[in-house]
Amino acid sequence: MDQQPAIVGKLLGWLDQAGQVALGWAKSPAAWSQFGLLVVAFVAAVLITRRLQPLLQRLITPAEGREGLIATIRQYALLFLPLLLPLIAYGLTAAGEQVTRSIFGSGAVIAFGKRVFLFIAARIFVREVLTDGFLRLLGRYVLVPVAALYALGVLDDITTRLDETVVALGNIRFSVMALIRGVIAGSLLFWLGAWSNRQSAGYIKAQPALRPATRELAAKAAEVLIFGAAFLLLMSIMGIDLTAVAVLGGALGVGIGLGLQQIAANFVSGIILLIEGQTTVGDYVQLDGGEKGTIVKMTARACVLETFDGRWIVVPNEHFITSRVINYSDQGSANRYEALFSVSYDTDINRVPPIIEAAVAQLPFVLQAPDGPDCELKGFGESAVDFAVEYWVNGIDDGKNKYASPVLFAIWNALKSEGIEMPYPQRVVEIKRRAPGAGA
């Protein structure tokens, strides 16, 4: 027992001290008076809460169907109503403490009761107010234990002990308390950063006056600013000299120069794409390799293309800068397409253009502006006369919008109804027979 650890001895000392304090309270008339005041404060808090809570609930609850910032704030305020009882009890106990100290010259018991009410408030806050899973986990294993230690009056001793315990990481030395404070603060800061980033991104992307590229750029800039500020604030809380961050930045620059050129190039290319706005989310593009798809997402490293058959193609941003990219769309502008067909040489080809133009013009998706359907003679083939009809549509023939097939059906039906033949390839075969006895 003589070789027991120091922490065990410290705990035994705290328990012995607590036992002596409890024994002293049991023998003191002033302590019993303070216990009585605690009971009175609690009963008064219960009575006040029963009358006040329904009134506050009616005042705070927004009208049915009401939306907006004020309604949202009032909905959040309703979550804090369960804290009303312990907080009123805490306030009454704090007032009673002043009276007790003025009469008896001490208020240790009522001060302990006040801290207990605060502990109860912390438990209710974690169990009934917090709805986010991460915050509830943090409250359960950080806030509630801290409130319990504060209620027992040993929080200052423990924090002092943790401050005196130092951990060395190379040339950097931290106290255990600084590490714990950094973990807790970092968790809260980056949760708050993630929440702020979601809110700001949702607000920015909901602004119809901004172009899609501008919205993406603003959302990325807000994300960098939020998490950058959270990181710098965490460094300040942990007491780390920001010159170490400068050294880290220099090391990162060397790493980029040696092995992260492609990542840096893609990142810079992504910023250029967002600033210029020539290619943005929703555009239908064709890459230099022949791949086609709609841009559904733009990140700091790459763009994601979705083909008409549902496949995703991840294309590094650098390809949009250094290679040729065909952009078929610009926020739903009109596009021109061409349909090829042929007719027989026996046809009066002067009749073909008006027949085809009238048939294609009747299709509901074919535009008359900037130009209506235009049927042109393309050439004279081996077996047929080749034509093409050009037409404009407000969209892209990307597989989802199949414009070419209805146009070809219209051409076929129009030619058939006019008795115009669409020939298949024909060949004339001449067979030469040798005269009898020739070559004998």
List all residues 6 or more positions away from 366 whose beta carbon is below 8 Å from its beta carbon. Answer: 360, 372, 373, 391, 392, 393, 407
Structural domain for 155, as ranges: 6-164
The CA-CA-CA angle for residues 7, 158, 126, to 5°, reads 120
Is residue 385 one of the residues assigned to a domain?
Answer: yes
Parallel, antiparallel or unpaired: strands 326-327 and 284-286? antiparallel
Residue 350 in this model has a pLDDT that exceeds 90: yes
- In this prediction, residues 63-92 reach a mean pLDDT of 80
pTM of the prediction? Answer: 0.51
Please indicate, yes or no, whether residues 11 and 106 belong to a single structural domain of this protein: yes
Residue 1 pLDDT > 50: no
- In this structure, is residue 231 part of a structural domain? yes
Q: Which helix (DSSP H) or strand (DSSP E) does residue 41 occupy?
A: helix 29-60
* Cα dihedral 56→57→59→65 (10° resolution): 160
Cβ-Cβ contacts under 8 Å for 394 (sequence gap 6 or more): 332, 333, 334, 335, 365, 367
- Judged against a pLDDT cut of 80, whether residue 160 lies above it is answered with yes
Does residue 370 lie within any of the structural domains?
yes
Give domain status of residue 424, yes or no: no
Residue 410 near residue 360, CB atoms below 8 Å: yes
Residue 206 has pLDDT above 60, yes or no: yes
Cis geometry, peptide bond prior to residue 370 (ω within 30 degrees of 0): yes
DSSP strands (E only) in 221-361: 284-286, 292-298, 302-306, 312-316, 326-327, 335-343
Are 46 and 118 part of one and the same domain?
A: yes
Question: Do 28 and 119 sit in the same domain of this protein?
Answer: yes
Q: How many CB atoms lie within 10 A of CB 212?
A: 17
254-303 tens-digit pLDDT: 665 666 677 777 778 877 877 777 777 878 888 888 788 888 888 778 88
120 in the same domain as 64: yes
Residue 225 carries which side chain, given as an amino acid letter?
L
For residue 128, pLDDT beyond 70: yes
User: What is the C-alpha to C-alpha distance for residues 412 and 419, in angstroms, rounded to an integer?
Assistant: 11
**Mean local confidence (pLDDT), 414-433:** 83
Among residues of the chain, what percentage have pLDDT more than 90? 13
Query: Does 274 reside within a domain?
Result: no
Q: What is the spatial distance between Cα 60 and Cα 48, in angstroms, rounded to a whole number?
A: 18
Q: What is the mean pLDDT of residues 182-207?
A: 79
d(CA 252, CA 393): 50
Q: What is the CATH number of the domain that holds 315?
A: 2.30.30.60
102 belongs to a structural domain: yes
Query: How many other CB atoms are found less than 10 A from the CB of residue 364?
Result: 5
User: Do 11 and 157 belong together in one domain?
Assistant: yes
Are residues 43 and 117 in contact, defined by beta-carbon separation less than 8 angstroms?
no
Is residue 172 predicted with pLDDT exceeding 90? no
Give domain status of residue 348, yes or no: yes
Residue 275, helix vs strand vs coil: helix
Query: What is the model's pLDDT at position 104?
Result: 60
| Cβ 376 vs Cβ 387: under 8 Å | yes
Asked if 22 and 125 sit in the same domain, the reply is: yes
pLDDT score recorded for residue 245: 60
Q: How confident is the model at residue 18 (pLDDT cuts 50, 70, 90)?
A: low
Please indicate, yes or no, whether residues 137 and 187 belong to a single structural domain of this protein: no
Please give the pLDDT value at position 415.
Answer: 94
In this structure, the answer to whether residues 409 and 366 fall within a common structural domain is yes
Domain assignment present for residue 439? The answer is: no
| Whether the predicted pLDDT of 156 surpasses 70 | yes
List, edge to edge, every strand of the sheet that includes 292-298: 312-316, 302-306, 292-298, 284-286, 326-327
Integer Cα distance of 29 and 130 in angstroms = 41
**In contact, 310 and 362? CB cutoff 8 Å:** no
Is there a contact between 359 and 418 (Cβ–Cβ < 8 Å)? no
Domain total of the chain: 4
